[in-house]
Amino acid sequence: MEPLSRDLLPVSAVVGADGRLSVGGIDVADLAKKIGTPAFVYDEAELRDRCREAVSAWGDGVAYAAKAFLCRAMASLAHEEGMCIDVSTGGEMHVALAGGVPPDRLVLHGNNKSEGELATALEAGVGRIVVDSFDEIDRLERLASVGTCPSVLARITPGVEAHTHEYVATGIDDSKFGFSLATGAAHSAVNRLSKSTVLRLVGIHAHIGSQIFRVDSFTHEVEVLAEFFTALGLPELNIGGGLGVAYVEGEKAPSIAEWAATVKEACDRLGIPRDVRVTAEPGRSIAARAGISLYQVGTIKEIPGIRTYVSVDGGMSDNPRPVLYGSGYEAFLPRAATADRPRPARIVGKHCESGDVIVREALLDDPKPGDVIVTPATGAYGYAMASNYNGVPRPPVIFCAEGDARVVVRRESFEDLTARDAP
């Protein structure tokens, strides 16, 4: 019933006396008219603030996990604000480099890096390669023997798995990622890496999950890793990403600063030397809250005694998270951002699937065909996971700052949809 909580909006979001929402000094409903819908709109200051918070909390070396949201503008922004960039494929590496990120500020991840991806990384001189398997050690040793000596971290599977509100100790680890601590693979891997004459082992890495609200999950991760790590006497410990963000009313996520403070305290308590670079790689917590999605309402269908369906001009092609994970979102009308929202509705997309839901149980003011609807906190894993399903062109990405709206990725066109087809 209540108007939308401000906690779900970008920090710079302002609701004027007339009830209209603006982000980065741009009236959102007007912007939708100008650039069309659907669209991803980011508060650029929010992105920058989160990057700065991460650098100030973790120190130099903290990396933005590009898979949450990447385009050239985002890569440059994160780099300008002092973050390294985490990439997990040759494609992400290409975009980050094209965004002007110096190769030594890149961290390369992936459980199945190809020979080509590794060769490109070595040639470019990426700062860190996070080694994930014995096969990869073979490949790297073969490739590196003819060139420079890359700095590598060993990815360890700590046997801790965290989900939104809890973590589980998984014992023997059933994972495609990393070297298991429990099976002894971790010991063998660091043994091999530390003896390598062509690879420079600088630290260990672990990642326990995503959308994690409890910082004690990370404390537990450090507890599991501490003895193993300390015995190696290495200079870097990367605890991965995964800090959660609020998507719906009532959720409360720790800040990046609280996350870092908790982890660093645990490191101190567990005797990890002070001069070790303890770092992390947040993705979602940098990008999610800065972004909102704009849609236009097309059809409204009231099924008596059942529910009201509000159909918008996007859907699972620009936000597959509700389909993939059953994720919840909020929605509101940016022309009346402080209005009560008395009407329950299901907001659905335009795809040929009954499961094409954006918000399963939305509360809205009084939506009419033609209205613009906003879903907040869609800055991470939305654009990044977008597809052309049903031939729907992918939305543009707009950065708003100080009254200026900058198109950083244009809308896909129908011509784009056939551009790669053989003539």
* Dihedral sign computed on CA atoms, order 367, 369, 371, 374: positive
- Beta bridge pairs of residue 162: 167, 209
In the complex, least distance from residue 336 CB atom to ligand PLP, rounded to whole angstroms: 32
Rg (CA), the chain: 23
Quick check: bond before 150 cis, omega within 30?
no
Tell me, yes or no, if 400 is annotated catalytic: no
Distance CA 96, CA 106 (A): 8
In the complex, least distance from residue 304 CB atom to ligand PLP, rounded to whole angstroms: 42
In the complex, least distance from residue 281 CB atom to ligand PLP, rounded to whole angstroms: 4
Distance CA 13, CA 117 (A): 40
Q: By CB under 6 A, name the binding residues for ligand PLP.
A: 65, 67-68, 86, 109, 207, 210, 240-243, 281-285
Distance CA 254, CA 266 (A): 16
Q: Which is nearer to ligand PLP, 281 or 365 (CB)?
A: 281
- Find the catalytic residue in 51, 149, 352, 400: 352
- Nearest Cα residue to 293 out of 174, 209, 397, 213: 397
- Beta bridge pairs of residue 290: none
Q: Which is nearer to ligand PLP, 67 or 128 (CB)?
A: 67
In the complex, least distance from residue 212 CB atom to ligand PLP, rounded to whole angstroms: 8
Interstrand relation of 200-205 and 151-157 (parallel, antiparallel or unpaired): parallel
Q: Which is nearer to ligand PLP, 240 or 367 (CB)?
A: 240
Q: What is the helix (H) or strand (E) element at residue 84, kind and residue range?
A: strand 84-87
Q: Which is nearer to ligand PLP, 112 or 145 (CB)?
A: 112
Crossing angle (nearest 10°) for helices 44-58 and 256-269: 10
In the complex, least distance from residue 207 CB atom to ligand PLP, rounded to whole angstroms: 4
C-alpha dist (Å) from residue 183 to 83, 102, 140, 178, 271: 34, 37, 23, 12, 24
Q: Which is nearer to ligand PLP, 99 or 241 (CB)?
A: 241
Q: Which is nearer to ligand PLP, 132 or 330 (CB)?
A: 132
In the complex, least distance from residue 63 CB atom to ligand PLP, rounded to whole angstroms: 8
Strand locations in 91-133, DSSP E? 106-108, 128-131
Which residues are catalytically annotated?
352
